[in-house]
Amino acid sequence: MCQIFKICHEYRCFKTSMCIVSFYSCYLLDIKCNLLFIMKKIYLILTVFIVLLITVNANAQTNVTSSGMSIQGIARDETNAAIANIDQLALVFTVYYLGAGNSEQLILTKTANVRTDNFGVFSYVLDIDQLQYNQISTQSAYLKVVQGSVVFSNEKLQAVPYAIYAQNGVPTGSIMPFIGTVAPNGWLLCDGSAITITTNTLNLRTLLGTTNTPDLRSMFLRGAGNGNGRTGSLLKIVQQDDLKSHLHGVNLSTNNVGEHDHNKDNVFNKVLAMDSKYTVANSDNNNNSGSEPNLGFSKSIAADGAHTHTVSGNTDTTGGTETRPINYGVNYIIKI
């Protein structure tokens, strides 16, 4: 019995730093009931997923700079069980279009020894150059899959596109955390490094207004502008660390210690005092005269000494060199 399998192709077209269009093309493969004999009547049934990646410049889809067709499939036998752990499963992938007289005009062909994993899954990538992409995109192309002398699949690629202006899903200038140390393709580390001057980086350099990536090492990201009663940093401007103005209220005072007298049984708190009954000494040769207290008259020493102290100063320093929440270290990367 013939079986029909669906192969979905995903085309992603990029314009240097920006994606122009992304669309899927789905195709139907009518398997021609050719049973593929492999190792004691094991038949191969492939469910194939193909991803075609095309890179173009900002002007047209025909200016391809790099491309590839990634083919992933599942090998199954006649019982629909996965053909697992095959080291070399030889397949020939051919892409062509029909010319005059329905003659096959070859676009590309590749023999691949694929390896299946524990689940029968295999993967392979076909390289596609500029000319081959032009032919695929302008002709009614076919995909033929052959094993040995048996044509396993030979069907027209019938595109059913849907398109969105997605910029590859991530617009130029997007910043995201990344736990690697080398930025993936299409991204740059936010470490202040110089941006290579190419047409591919033009949009990013224009957006940044500089030829260097932002240096976000040891920094947090924060929404720019003012809102909700908060004052944020300006766009693309580093806001220095700060601590909100505040105070620490404290009341410091001493008690009334220090109050005392010199009394002992009301005897030792007296001093000699002058009154009207004091003794006047004779004057000396310089006509200086003196006086002495009345020995029978004394005064008490009043108690005194109660007082307070006003205290001012700073508390001792404690803590580290910055104010920060608990965090996890990552690298930031920016989309080209």
User: In this predicted model, what pLDDT tens digit does every residue of 157-207 receive, in sequence order?
Assistant: 765 444 444 444 688 999 999 999 999 888 999 999 999 999 889 999 999
Each residue's pLDDT tens digit, 205-242: 999 999 999 999 999 998 888 877 777 788 998 888 88
- pLDDT category of residue 37 using cuts at 50, 70 and 90: very low
* CA 324 and chain centroid, separation: 18
> Percent of the chain beyond pLDDT 90?
20
Measured over all CA atoms, what is the biggest interatomic distance in the chain, rounded to whole angstroms?
Answer: 159
Strands (DSSP E) contained in the chain are 3-15, 18-31, 45-56, 66-76, 89-98, 104-114, 121-127, 141-147, 150-156, 175-178, 187-189, 226-227, 230-231, 270-272, 279-280, 291-292, 298-300, 331-335
- pLDDT category of residue 291 using cuts at 50, 70 and 90: low
Q: How far apart are CA 84 and CA 121, in angstroms?
A: 8
What's the pLDDT at 30?
33
Q: Beta partners for 18?
A: 15
Between 275 and 101, the higher pLDDT residue = 101
Is 56:64 a contact under the CB 8 Å cutoff?
yes
- pLDDT category of residue 11 using cuts at 50, 70 and 90: very low
Is 93:131 a contact under the CB 8 Å cutoff?
no
Question: Worst-scoring range by mean pLDDT, 66-70, 196-200, 305-309?
Answer: 66-70
Is 174:206 a contact under the CB 8 Å cutoff?
no
The reported pTM is: 0.41
Q: How far apart are CA 215 and CA 197, in angstroms?
A: 18
Is 168:19 a contact under the CB 8 Å cutoff?
yes
Determine how β-strand 66-76 pairs with β-strand 226-227: unpaired
Residue 22 has pLDDT above 60, yes or no: no
Between 169 and 248, the higher pLDDT residue = 248
Residue 74 has pLDDT above 80, yes or no: no
Q: Which of 118, 50, 58, 51 is nearest to 85 (CA)?
A: 118
Q: How far apart are CA 201 and CA 179, in angstroms?
A: 23
Q: What is the mean pLDDT of residues 265-294?
A: 60
Cβ-count burial of 23 within 10 angstroms (0-12 exposed, 13-18 middle, 19+ buried)?
middle
Each residue's pLDDT tens digit, 127-155: 888 778 778 878 888 888 787 777 767 87
What domains, with CATH codes, occur in the chain?
3-156 (no CATH), 171-232+329-336 (3.90.1340.10)
Between 304 and 84, the higher pLDDT residue = 84
Look at the block and give the residue holding tokens 């005392």: 260
Using only C-alpha atoms, what is the Rg of the chain?
46
What's the pLDDT at 94?
92
Residues contacting 251, CB < 8 A, separation 6+: none
Q: How far apart are CA 91 and CA 152, in angstroms?
A: 9
What's the pLDDT at 63?
33
Q: How far apart are CA 214 and CA 236, in angstroms?
A: 8
Residue 12 has pLDDT above 50, yes or no: no
What's the pLDDT at 176?
95
Residue 33 has pLDDT above 50, yes or no: no
Which conformational region is residue 224 in: left (phi greater than 0), alpha (psi within -120 to 50 degrees), or beta?
beta
Residue 116, SS3 per DSSP: coil
Which conformational region is residue 181 in: left (phi greater than 0), alpha (psi within -120 to 50 degrees), or beta?
alpha
